[in-house]
Chain A
Amino acid sequence: MIPVRLRPLLRTVTLVGIVLCLPLLFVSAVTLESAGLTAGALGFTGVVCALAIAAY
């Protein structure tokens, strides 16, 4: 359980994270076509979703 006082910070981090997801996913999967970077970007997106679950 996340302490209530940490939730606003975590929510901001989640928002910043989801903003970063699009460039990370697009550049890794479409521009660079790198399997390793794409897996990393997908993992990052998963972490952002996990943060959303924890923060809200």
Chain B
Amino acid sequence: MPTGLMPTGPDLSLLNWMLAALPVVVLVVAIMRLRWSAPRAGGASWLVATGLALWHFGGSAESTAIASAKGLSLAIFVLTILWASVYMYNLVDRLKGIEAIGRTMARIVDDRTGQALLIAWGLASFIQGITGFGVPVAVATPLLVMMGFSPARAAVMVLIGHGWAVTFGSMGSSYYTIQLVSGVPGDEIGPHMALLFAPLIVASGLMVAHIHGGMAAVRRSAGLVAVVGTAMAVAMWAMAWAGAPQIASSVPGLIAIAGIGFGARTPLLRREQVAAPVAVGTGPLVDAPPGTRRMSFHLGFLPYYLLIALSIISQIGPVKDAARGLSLGLDYPSFVTSEGFRVAGATDYAVLRLLNHPAPLIVVAVIVSMGAFAAAGYWKRGVAWEAARLTYRQSMSTTIGVGTMVMMALVMSDTGLTVLLAEGIAKASGPVFPLISPFIGLLGSFMTGSNTNSNVLFGVLQVETAKSLGIGTVTIASVQSIGASVGSSMAPAKVLVGAALTGMADREHEIMRLVVPYVLALALLTGIVAIVLVEAIPGWTR
């Protein structure tokens, strides 16, 4: 928990509040107005935050160094998940395993609305659950285009369809971040957040149908979306409750795939009367040349089967107990700034438990799968190195961006700037704060392209504001991450990936124009649910 204990800290004055907001303002202006990349904007905002901490808010070189080191400890926790999951995806993709998965998905359902739901709501969400970082858009969007959907709508369906899966996606990296920065125990915030996600899961399914075929498609698929969406929401809650948040998006994603595949053949989906889908290009729907071996779905999916199994095994009592001893974490001392802001010491800060953390589990899944691919005759020489080089190129910018931004966020929170901002917002917003809260999360992920970064930037701010207003911190921490989760769907980085993959590189604004209203509607729905719960059941929204 990076915030102070009984913080006194800097006085709340207009000048102090504006100065405290300056690092965030620099970040927003750099990304949104100057169109700087995340590493550039993160580096600039760390310099501003550190300058303010040292020369205006009573920080010392020691306190600022400790805060920055804590930020990097937190970044390592998240980035190891990123590197491992991106590597696994790249390896499977290079061996044509992703193609095998996609080809099977496309053949499960022949109804157009059913296909849109299967790929954009089910497959994209499952991929978000296990990897994330733009990969769902990269895989699912071209698949929809190959199936004959219009490029812009294909991109928007995928962006909206998997938005609910981001927080618990990437093996739970954003979820772990909000849990760490807010200091709320996982067994409290996980199930709580999963319940708040329930209406969004159903709403995003209906939105995918709406993007594809307007209200007619919504009416045709409402029964299927309601039944499958409920099952997904129950599965998300169960995974979070069982202490397996790292698979709380991938398991509902699998349920969506199975549920849509089965339900689309029942009266739950009123079928469209259209011609069979038309395959274009040379993608997965085109038959393989004679003599060419294609990987089976189950072999392509093996690393993900293993990962799910290992994630579940890692939560079993004796394994979980053994994991406590095998851990890597740093201890940080307490300190007080000259403005009187107290920061508690931290033992095993952002600890990496070797049998529980997703990254080692991914490594084991990859090693076992490599053996299986080789035994089945699909291994290619040099592919492991090729996947590593690609992962390095893909993850380098994100690594520097996350590192600098998390350092900036920790310098702000450990010098009292975040608490100061929270106090100001609390005074200004009052009882409507739960309605505003998801939009703060949305702003963070829109700015940084990342649910995780948004949680780092605004997680403590949201929790401190909630405390000031006497609103449940678990609910507000959850709402922050949910707003960031759906908000990442309109992040320029993701939209640009969608545009590039659908041949719309110079027409991103068309995708943006379509996606923004749906994202804002999801954030508003989150805010309405939060404010209703806070007002109606204050005891539950602890």
Would you call A22 and B400 a contact (CB within 8 A)? no
- Shortest Cβ distance from A18 into chain B, in angstroms? 5
Report how many residues on chain B are interfacial, defined by Cβ distance under 8 Å. 32
Residues of A within 8 A of B330 (CB): 26, 30
CB closest residue in chain B, given A39: B61
**Chain B interface, >50% SS class:** helix
CB closest residue in chain B, given A12: B396
Q: How far, in angstroms, from A38 to B59 measured CA to CA in the complex? A: 13
Q: How far, in angstroms, from A41 to B73 measured CA to CA in the complex? A: 16
Residues of A within 8 A of B397 (CB): 11, 56
Q: How far, in angstroms, from A12 to B468 measured CA to CA in the complex? A: 43
**Count of A-B contacts judged by CB separation below 8 Å:** 89
Report the stretch among B63-71, B102-110, B198-206, B511-519 that lies at the interface: B63-71
Binary contact readout B402-425 vs A (1 if CB under 8 angstroms, 0 otherwise): 011001000000000000000000
Set A29, A46, A50: member contacting B66, Cβ < 8 A = A29
CB closest residue in chain A, given B397: A56
- Shortest Cβ distance from B246 into chain A, in angstroms? 24
Would you call A52 and B404 a contact (CB within 8 A)? yes
- Shortest Cβ distance from B467 into chain A, in angstroms? 28
- Residues of B35-50 at the interface with A, using a CB-CB cut-off of 8 Å, are 36-40, 42-44, 46-47, 50
Binary contact readout B21-60 vs A (1 if CB under 8 angstroms, 0 otherwise): 0000000000000001111101110110010000000000
B480 within 8 A of A: no
- Shortest Cβ distance from A33 into chain B, in angstroms? 8
B62 within 8 A of A: yes
- Shortest Cβ distance from A11 into chain B, in angstroms? 6
Residues of B within 8 A of A39 (CB): 61
Q: How far, in angstroms, from A11 to B36 measured CA to CA in the complex? A: 15
Q: How far, in angstroms, from A35 to B403 measured CA to CA in the complex? A: 24
Would you call A14 and B400 a contact (CB within 8 A)? yes
B241 within 8 A of A: no
- Shortest Cβ distance from B348 into chain A, in angstroms? 14
Q: How far, in angstroms, from A30 to B345 measured CA to CA in the complex? A: 11
Q: How far, in angstroms, from A15 to B401 measured CA to CA in the complex? A: 10
Binary contact readout A6-32 vs B (1 if CB under 8 angstroms, 0 otherwise): 000001101100100110011011100
B332 within 8 A of A: yes
Report how many residues on chain A are interfacial, defined by Cβ distance under 8 Å. 28
List 18 A-B residue pairs with CB atoms under 8 Å apart, sorted by A's residue number: A18-B72, A25-B66, A25-B68, A25-B72, A28-B65, A29-B65, A41-B65, A42-B68, A45-B65, A48-B43, A49-B46, A50-B43, A51-B43, A52-B43, A52-B400, A53-B40, A53-B43, A56-B37
The 9 nearest A-B residue pairs measured at CB: A52-B43, A49-B43, A25-B69, A29-B65, A22-B72, A56-B40, A52-B39, A56-B37, A56-B39
Taking Cβ atoms with an 8 Å cutoff, the residues of B that contact A are 36-40, 42-44, 46-47, 50, 61-62, 64-66, 68-69, 72-73, 76, 330-333, 396-397, 399-400, 403-404, 407
Taking Cβ atoms with an 8 Å cutoff, the residues of A that contact B are 11-12, 14-15, 18, 21-22, 25-26, 28-30, 33, 35, 38-39, 41-42, 45-46, 48-53, 55-56
